Structures are given as structure tokens and as C-alpha cells.
Amino acid sequence: MKLIYQQMLAFFAVIMTTLLIVGLFFIQFTNKMVYETTWDQLEGYADSLMQQAMTVDKRTNTFTGFQVSMLSNSEAVLSQQKVHFAIFSDKNKMIYPLTDGRGPVMARQLTKADWQKLKQGKRIYCKSDHGTNVLNNQQEMTDVLVPYFYNGDLKAVISVGSLVSNVHANITKIEHNLFMALLISSVAAVIMSFLLAKYQVLRINRLRGAAHKVAKGDFDVKIDAKHHDELDDLAIDFNQMTTSLRESEDEIKRQEDRRRQFMADAAHEMRTPLTTINGLLEGLQYDAIPEDMRGKSIELMQNETKRLIRIVNENLDYEKIRTNQISLSKRNFDGTEALKNIVMQLTNKSNNANNDLILTPGPSVQVYADYDRFVQVMFNVIQNAIQFTQGGTITITAKHGYHETIFTVQDTGIGMSAEQVQNIWERYYKADPSRKNTKYGESGLGLAIVHQLVQLHGGEIKVDSKENVGTTFTISFPDQVASQETTPDAVESKKD
């Protein structure tokens, strides 16, 4: 069944049930009200009849009876309104109307139980009762029995009754009106439930339409939502979802572009050494290389092979770190000493670029890390600084902070723009693509690996850079205590 019909049915059922319950209560209430009003009226008649027709001997202060003429006058008037009455003596003898067979007698027969109640001064209200024959028709009556006392003694009981058909006529009129109201309400309920259902379904369809667009790859769809209800919340979630999808699609695209670029770079990178090696091998095979150049050729081939191995290894290394497949064997060691070694290894490269490579002197600083990985991190960052600085200064510092060891590598090189800084941790990223194929390789993997390694240590790496001014990398490694508090699993659970 379509949602709109389900909703309509639900709304309609709720409205109709409410209407029916209210209607039933209303009918019951009016029924009671009509009877009570009739009884009030009949009681009024009974009281006035008694007051008018009762006769009392003033001298002896005793009740003497009723004025029959007065009663028959009243009877004539009341019968016009289809109201009948009868008076009984305290001995349950009908004293009015006199049953001489001329007129109708409309009074219920009083039972023993009735008398008991009446003697206690209680009034009796009867909803319906079979009266005696009226114009040969059996008619139902509703009546009130009122006892009358004089000087504390029950003197008479008056029974005043009206035809039930009179009462019912009023009730039927009200019921008819109610039925009409119910009919109109039902039509209104159908229209209302249709409009309500339509509104809800429209909102759902809006979401459906948007979901279809997303399924077709359009992630720019947005739905208006105002935080009113759950459907609005759903729309907001949907908008967030499309934003995330758009972002991840962009990210996938960027990654894909970079991967493609890297593949092209790697192919290019590999082709050069492979061509060189191939040429040299052919030269050797056909004795085209003079004897004194053979040693040099083999050395060249070795260098080119190393370069190839480096590219392959870096890729493998990155994947291993990324998938947590490496284990760190952390220990405390002298960080300054390790830096001195790195500086020694890189001084040559630095000199080639006319740079000053300075390790600021100071007390030796202890660091808690995996020695080889620490060297790898610092080597990469310092090598980058040399690589992107010409005729400048590279300053390295080491100090102990609060539960951490902090290293900075500052250069006065080409620097980076804010956008470039954002991307440097990504694999294959090179801020300046034209600077590929340098002697340092430049696969764009160095910092991606560094970042992963520092994170794996529970440390932090930050960069501050300004174009044509320089770059500062700040790397911190937590101390043993802090490291075990924050990343207990990062160290121990990483197993090959």
C-alpha cells in the first residue's frame, strides 16, 4: 500500500475514533440531561399542584384532602402538554383522578419498595414505565414520585409523568444534529488526512529525489531543513552525508591524481636508471667500454640500482607503517649524538648547495624512540631542508620539554604557501612538481613516512613556513612515562 494511503488511513482512523468516542459520550450526556430536565419540570408541576390543591383545617392544623376542582383544572392544562398525574393516599389508594372509568389513568403501580423509599422522604425518578392504556395505545412514561408530609406524617404521594416519546423526540433531534456533525466531520477528516498525508509524503519524496541524485553521483544536492522535526533532522543528516561524500570524492580524486602522477614519475624515474644500466650492460657485453672505464661503469650501475631499490623500499615502507605492520623498539638514547651523525652524513650535500648546516650546541638531550626510525625521521626532514635551500642556513636544535623531547629544523629556503603546507603530509605530494628528478629522488613520500612514524611514536610534527623566507619543522617525541600513559598499545602491540 502506498505511504500516502497508509498515512491517510492512520490519520482518518485517529480522527474518526476520537469523533466516535466524543459522540458516544455526548449522546449519553444529553440523554441524561434531557431526562434530568424533564424530571425537574415534573417535580415543579408536582410541587405547585400540591400547594394549590392541598386543603388544611387551620383550626386543628390538620390535613384534610385535596380540592378536586383545582386538580381537574390543572389536569386539563397539563394534559395539553402531555403531562399526566395521579395522587395516592398514604394507604396506596389512588385519590385522584377518581377512577370512574371516564378518563385515562396514567400512573404507575406503586410497589412495596417504592413505598419504603417514599416513606423515608425520598423522591423516585423512573426513566420509563408502562402506563395504563391511553387512547388504546400502550405508551411509555417517565415519571417522578414525590411524597408529601404534613406535620411529619406522609399524607400523599403524587406521581407526575410525561410521555417518553416527548423526551425521545428531543433526544432524536440532538442525535440527528450530532449525526450531521459527524458526517461533515468525516468528510473534513478525509480531506484533512489527505492534506496531512500529502504534506508528509511530499517531504519524504523530496528526500527520495535527492537520494536518487546522490545515487547517480551528484553530491551537490542540498535539502532545505529548519530543525523542526525528525524529517528535518534526517534532511540535515542527509546534507551532511552529501558533504562528506563530496569531500571523500574530492579526496579520492586528489589521491588518484597523485597516484597517477607518482606512477608517471616512478616510471620516468625508473626508466632513466634502467636505460643507463641497460646501455652500460650492452657496452660491457660488446666490449664497447674501454677497460679503464669499466670500474666507473659498474659503480654507475650500482648507484642507479640503489636508486631503484630506494623508490621501491620507500613505497613498501610507507605501506607497512600505514597498515601498522612495523614494530618499534623504543629506548632512551642520546638524541644530540644521533643528530651529530646525521649532520655529518649530510654536510657534504649541504655544502654542495652552499648551505650552512648548524647543530646548535647545548647539553645532550635524551630521547625515547626507536633509534633507526628516529634517524629516518630527522634525516628526511634535514635532507628536505637542504634540498629546498640554496645558499642559506639550516639550524637544528634539540631541547627537553615537559615530558617530551623537542627538535626543530629551521631553514632559510624557498618556503611554502599555506595550501602547500596543508598537503605535505600526503603521499606523492610535491609542492613544486617541476622539481622532480633531482639527485635526491623526490618521490614525495619522505614526509608522508615521517608523519606516520612520528604519530606511531605518539609524538607530534608541526610545520611553520613562509614562501621565500623559510620553513621550520618542529618534532616532539614523548618521554617514556608520557609515552606509556598515552600510547601504551602503539608501542607494544605493533608486531611484524
Ligand X SMILES: Nc1ncnc2c1ncn2[C@@H]1O[C@H](COP(=O)(O)OP(=O)(O)OP(=O)(O)O)[C@@H](O)[C@H]1O
Residue closer to ligand X, measured from CB, 147 or 470: 470
The H or E element containing residue 477 is strand 470-478
- By a kind-dependent CB cut-off of 5 to 8 A, residue 273 interacts, out of ligand X, Mg ion, none, with none
Site string for Mg ion, 177-206 (x = CB under 5 A): ------------------------------
Q: Do the Cβ atoms of 235 and 223 come closer than 8 Å?
A: yes
Using CB positions, name the residue nearest to ligand X.
446
Q: Binding of ligand X at residue 441 (CB under 6 A)?
A: yes
CA distances from residue 137 to 5, 134, 140, 185 in whole angstroms, order as listed: 54, 5, 10, 40
Instruction: Please report where in the chains the cell 631553514 appears, as a residue.
Output: 411
Nearest residue to 445 (alpha-carbon basis) of 425, 417, 469, 423: 425
Q: Are strands 366-370 and 330-334 parallel, antiparallel or unpaired?
A: antiparallel
Among 150, 194, 371, 440, binds ligand X (CB under 6 A): 440
Q: Give the contact letters, 343-372, x = binds to ligand X (CB under 6 A), - = no.
A: ------------------------------
Which one of Mg ion, ligand X, none is in contact with 86 (Cβ closer than 5 to 8 A by kind)?
none
Closest approach of Cβ 410 to ligand X, in Å? 9
Place of cell 623508490: 311
Q: Does residue 355 bind Mg ion (CB under 5 A)?
A: no
Q: Of 86 and 409, which has the nearer Cβ to Mg ion?
A: 409
Task: Compute the distance between CA of residue 113 and CA of residue 122 in angstroms, rounded to an integer.
Answer: 12
Helix intervals (H) in 323-444: 335-352, 371-387, 418-423
User: Of 299 and 432, which has the nearer Cβ to ligand X?
Assistant: 432
Return phi, psi of residue 141, to 5°. Answer: -125, 150
Give the amino acid at 420.
Q
Toward Mg ion, which CB reaches closer, 297 or 384?
384
Nearest CA among 479, 305, 107, 117 for reference residue 98: 107
Stretch that binds ligand X, among 176-184, 237-245, 321-329, 440-448 (CB under 6 A): 440-448
**Smaller CB distance to Mg ion: residue 392 or 446?**
446
Indicate which of Mg ion, ligand X, none lies near residue 441 (CB less than 5 to 8 Å, by partner kind). Answer: ligand X
Q: What are phi and psi of 356, to 5 degrees?
A: -100, 125
Q: Report the run of H or E that residue 331 belongs to, with start and end.
A: strand 330-334
d(CA 345, CA 379): 9
Can residue 432 be called a binding residue for ligand X (CB under 6 A)? yes
Question: Interacting stretch for Mg ion, rule CB under 5 A, among 59-67, 111-119, 160-168, 377-385?
Answer: 377-385
Residue type, 444: G
Q: Is 384 in the site for Mg ion (CB under 5 A)?
A: yes
Minimum distance between the CB of residue 214 and ligand X, rounded to whole angstroms? 35
Q: Which residues bind ligand X (CB under 6 A)?
A: 380, 384-385, 388, 411, 413-416, 424, 429-432, 440-448, 471
Q: Which residues bind Mg ion (CB under 5 A)?
A: 384, 446
